Structure formats: structure tokens, C-alpha cells
Structure 1
Amino acid sequence: MLKTLTLTTTICLLSLSSMTMANTETAEQSTTPHICAIKGTPDSSQFKIMKRVKVAKGTYGSVEELYPRFAERTHQVGGNVVINYNASQRFGFWPWRIVRPVVWGTAVKWNTPVNCQQLGGIEI
């Protein structure tokens, strides 16, 4: 009886733990800030430059993995749009040439509501 009770309790706790993790992942995805990333430099009368933003990963990976952190950093410095956006794989510091993803650009505060498609940007 004790073994059955322990097993049932363990299964219930594991189920509850996995449900909590799934809810946390869903909450994180829904609260991730979004930004508009523009490759070039639009008319400077439409925005105020805040700060240059760069996010990189130390090892192999995809550029898309960095998008949530890049958007978060942009919002931290007060921006809602990134101009001069660039994302690529770069060689790292170490001599054995580890390639890593890097995303950078200039965070700006747009003066009017932003229509990313109309500006020729991508939504991150």
C-alpha cells in the first residue's frame, strides 16, 4: 500500500510539474516583446536614437534563438524599432574558429505608430 501511495504521489507531482513548465513556457512566449527590425536607415525625423544593441551566443546556434533576448534588450534601452539591423554567423574569439550567431543594430524610439511591413522591416 505504501509503495502504491508513493508511486501515485510521484506521478501526480511529475504531472503537476510538467503542467507548470508548459504554462511557464506559454506565458514566456506570450510576454516576449516584439520589435521591428529594419536593415537600412529611414528618415531620421521619424525617430530618436537610443543606443546600439548587440546580442551574441558563445557557441553554435541559430540567429532566431537570439531574437527574444534581442527584443528584450531593445526595450530595456527604451527602443521599439531597430535600424541598421544585421544578423549573421561570426567567427568567435578562440583560435579554433567557432562560428556563433550575432545580432546587432541601433535601437530607436519611433515617434508614430509603427507599420513594420510598410517600413520594409521584419517583425522579431
Structure 2
Amino acid sequence: MLVKTMIGVALVCASQLCNAQTADPAPEPQSQGGGICLFTGTPPADHTYTTLRKLKYGKGSYGSVNDILPMVIADAKAAGADAVIHYNGSQRFGFWPWRFVRPVVTGTAIKWEPARDIDCAAAGGHYSTGTLAEAPPPPAK
């Protein structure tokens, strides 16, 4: 009976490790001086853009969105993005919802068309260098 219990615990732990990252492997956080503009929705209609790629990062266990936000920003900048739209950082249930809650960050990396400097705050976004204090607040429901 003890052997079956140990095998069950090992399988649960292994399933959490396998479920740790559902997107491409995350790049190492870079200490670039600049950040990126985060939008919880989309920018105003007069700000045209091209979609570069979807972003989705999750931590394999307990933690804060603050732990993975720098990776999302570094990945978006590496893709050549000027901003991230549809940003969402939240706690989600993992594979075993009654035991594990983990942070997940999603969004879409975009590039402004034509290339230009945008005042992030005036466009309705929030500038962030990778800390949760700079991230946009959740949308009002």
C-alpha cells in the first residue's frame, strides 16, 4: 500500500512539472533599460499595428505574476514588438485544481505601423519594465 501511495505522489508531482510551461521556452530575463507598453484591451483605432505573435507564460507552481512578467516583456522585445495588447496576468488553476494555483501571463505582441513613438499613457496603456507595480490593473467588470 505504501508503494502505491508513493507512486501516486510521484505521478502528481511529475504531472505538475510537465504542465509547467505550455508555450515556447522562455528567454532569460534581460536587463535592458527599456520596457514595453501593455494594453489590457486594444489601442485606439487611429493606432494601427501588425500582430507579431501570441505570448503565454505560466509558472509551474505557486508564485506571483511578477515572477514571469519580465520574461514576457523580454520575449516581446526580442520579437521586435513595440507593445503588448490583450495583456492578462492572473492566477489560474493548474492540472489538479484543488491543490495548485499558478500565475499565468498572456497577451499579443504588436508592432506599430508605421513605426513611430507612441505616448503609452495617452493611448490608454501602461508602460512596464517588468514589475507588477507597473502592470495595468485588471479591467473593470
TM-score by length of 2: 0.61
Q: How many residues matched?
A: 97
- When Rg is computed on C-alpha atoms for both structures, the one with the higher figure is 1
Indicate whether 1:51 and 2:53 are aligned: yes
Paired-residue identity, %: 44
Greater shift, 30-39 or 108-117, is seen at: 30-39
Q: How does 1:1-124 map to 2 (within 5 A)?
A: 30-31=31-32, 33-42=34-43, 43=45, 46-94=48-96, 96-110=98-112, 111-124=115-128
The amino acid that maps onto 2:62 is Y
CA separation of 1:29 and 1:52: change in aligned 2, threshold 3 A: closer
The amino acid that maps onto 2:37 is C
1:13 corresponds to which residue?
A: none
User: Deviation string for 1:82-108 (max 9, x for gaps)?
Assistant: 011111000011354310111111100
TM-score by length of 1: 0.68
Q: Is the 8 A contact 1:33 1:72 kept in 2?
A: no
Which has the larger helix fraction? Answer: 1
Q: Is the 8 A contact 2:30 2:74 kept in 1?
A: no
